[in-house]
Structure 1
C-alpha cells in the first residue's frame, strides 16, 4: 500500500490526507471530506481540484497544501465515486512550515473539514 500524502493549511496545520491512486480525501479525524473527480484525466488542466461528498468544490491541492481558489471556472465532472469505507488513517503529523497562499487562493473553511 502506498504511503499517505499529508495536506496542510497555509499556516502549516495538518488538515487532510489521501493515498495516491485512490480518489478519496480524508480529514485528520478520518472523516471522508472529498474526492478527486479529475485525477485520471490526461489533460493539462489542473487535476487536483477536490469536490466534497455533495459534489461541491472544496479546494485544490497546491503542492502539499489544500487551498480554495478565489475564482474558479465550473467544470463538468465524470461519474461519481461510491462512498468509501472508513480508512485506517495515518499517524498524527507535525506541522509544516507556514507559507502565504499563492495569489488567487485562500485557506479552505475549517468547518468544511471538521464539521459534523
Structure 2
C-alpha cells in the first residue's frame, strides 16, 4: 500500500498501541509526543522494504518497521550506512491515533523498549 507524500504513517507496538510515526520521503521517525527518536539510514536503498531498520539519534539500532509495527529484532547483523542525516526541526505532528488491532510479533522480533520511545 502506498502512502501519499505528506501523509503520516503511524507505527504501533504488537499490542496495538500507537508508538511512533514518520512521513514518507523524509528520513525521520517521531514519537507520539513529537520527539525525534530515530532515522532511516537505508531509506533510499532499492529493497522490498526500504524503510526497515531504524537507528536512534545516536546511531544505535532502535527497531525495524514490520508492516505497521515498530519492533526490535532479537538478533541483528550490523549494517554500515553511508551518511548521517542532520538533526531535524520539531514537526507538526499527526492527529492522535487510538489503537490498531493487537497482533503477535513475528518470530525473531519483540516490542521496542518503551523507555527508548518516550523518555527525554
TM-score (structure 1 length as normaliser): 0.96
State which drifts further: 45-54 or 96-105: 45-54
1:103 has 2:107 as partner: yes
Structure 1, 45-54 or 78-87: larger mean CA deviation: 45-54
Does residue 38 (structure 1) correspond to residue 16 (structure 2)? The answer is no
The question of 1:82 aligning with 2:86 is answered: yes
Q: Mean alpha-carbon deviation: is it higher for 9-18 or for 47-56? A: 47-56
- Measure, in 1, the Cα distance between the counterparts of 2:31 and 2:47: 28
1:15 aligns with 2:10: no
Unaligned 5+ runs, structure 1: none
Structure-1 separation of matches of 2:84 and 2:111: 25
CA shift, 1:78, in A, is: 1.5
Question: In 1, are the aligned partners of 2:63 and 2:70 still within 8 Å (CA)?
Answer: yes
> With structure 2 as the length reference, what TM-score do the two structures score?
0.93
| SS of the residue 1:60 aligns to | strand
In structure 1, the residue matched to 2:98 is 94
The gaps in structure 2 that reach 5 residues or longer are: none
User: For 1:45-84, what aligned pairs fall within 5 Å after superposition?
Assistant: 47-84=51-88
Cα distance change, pair 81–106 in 1 and its aligned pair in 2 (3 A): same
